[in-house]
Structure 1
Amino acid sequence: MKISLSEVKKQYGQIEQLVLRAFESSMYLVQVQLAQREGVLNVCDDEGRIMRFTSQLDAKFPFKGLGITDTVLLHESAYNEMIGMPGGEKPAPLEVKLANPDDDCS
């Protein structure tokens, strides 16, 4: 499911988690978990296109001032067998806690 950035900005204090999903070639997609909704929502622009960013700092910038208190980066690798891990079964994505947009010094 999707939610527009303008709708996210109306959710001050209701964003439980900001999720940055890292993909290859420095591409980041952003998802939010809202307090009153189940599941994560992909953040899109006002025309309904999923927003893409080239760095985690750029991805967090639109969310400054929204009172977000939990931000994580998720990274899934499609190359596990290339680094000696068994193929076939998909491992859980790497999850890293990040500074929240309001706490980021950039």
Structure 2
Amino acid sequence: MKIAVSDVKKQFGQIERLVLRAFESSMYLVQVKLKQGSELLNVCDDEGTIMRFNSQLDAKLPFKGLGIESTVLIHESPYNEMIGMPATEKPAPLEVKLANPDDDLS
């Protein structure tokens, strides 16, 4: 499911988790988990297009001042067989805790 960034900005104090999904070539997609929901929502612009960012700092900028409780970066690698792992075995994605947008002084 999707949620417009303008609707996210109306959710002050209601965003439990901000998830930045890292893909190759410096592409980041953003998802949010609201306190009253159980699923991650893909953040899109007001026209319904999923938003893409070039860095994790750019991805966090629209969410400053929203009182987000937790921010993580998730990266899944499609290249397991290139490093000697079986192509059929899918390892758990790398998940790294990041500073929340309100705490990031960059």
Class of the TM-score when normalised by the shorter of the 2 chains:
over 0.9
TM-score (norm 1): 0.97
Partner of 1:2: 2
CA distance in 1, matches of 2:84, 2:15: 38
Question: 1:92: Cα distance to partner?
Answer: 1.3
Amino acid at match of 2:103: D
Q: Does 1:37 align with 2:37?
A: yes
Displacement of 1:81 after TM fit?
Answer: 1.1
Count of residues in correspondence between the two structures: 106
Q: How does 1:2-21 map to 2 (within 5 A)?
A: 2-21=2-21
> Residue deviations 1:39-74, cap 9 Å, x none?
100000000000000000000000000001200000
* Identity %, equivalent residues: 80
Specify the alignment match of 1:96 in structure 2.
Answer: 96
Question: Aligned-residue CA RMSD in angstroms?
Answer: 0.7
Query: CA offsets per residue over residues 6-31 of structure 1, 9 Å max, x none?
Result: 00011111101000000000000000
**Take 1:16 and 1:64, find their aligned partners in 2: how far apart are those partners?**
14
Unaligned runs of 5+ in 1: none
Unaligned stretches of 5+ residues in structure 2: none
Q: Which residue is equivalent to 2:81?
A: 81
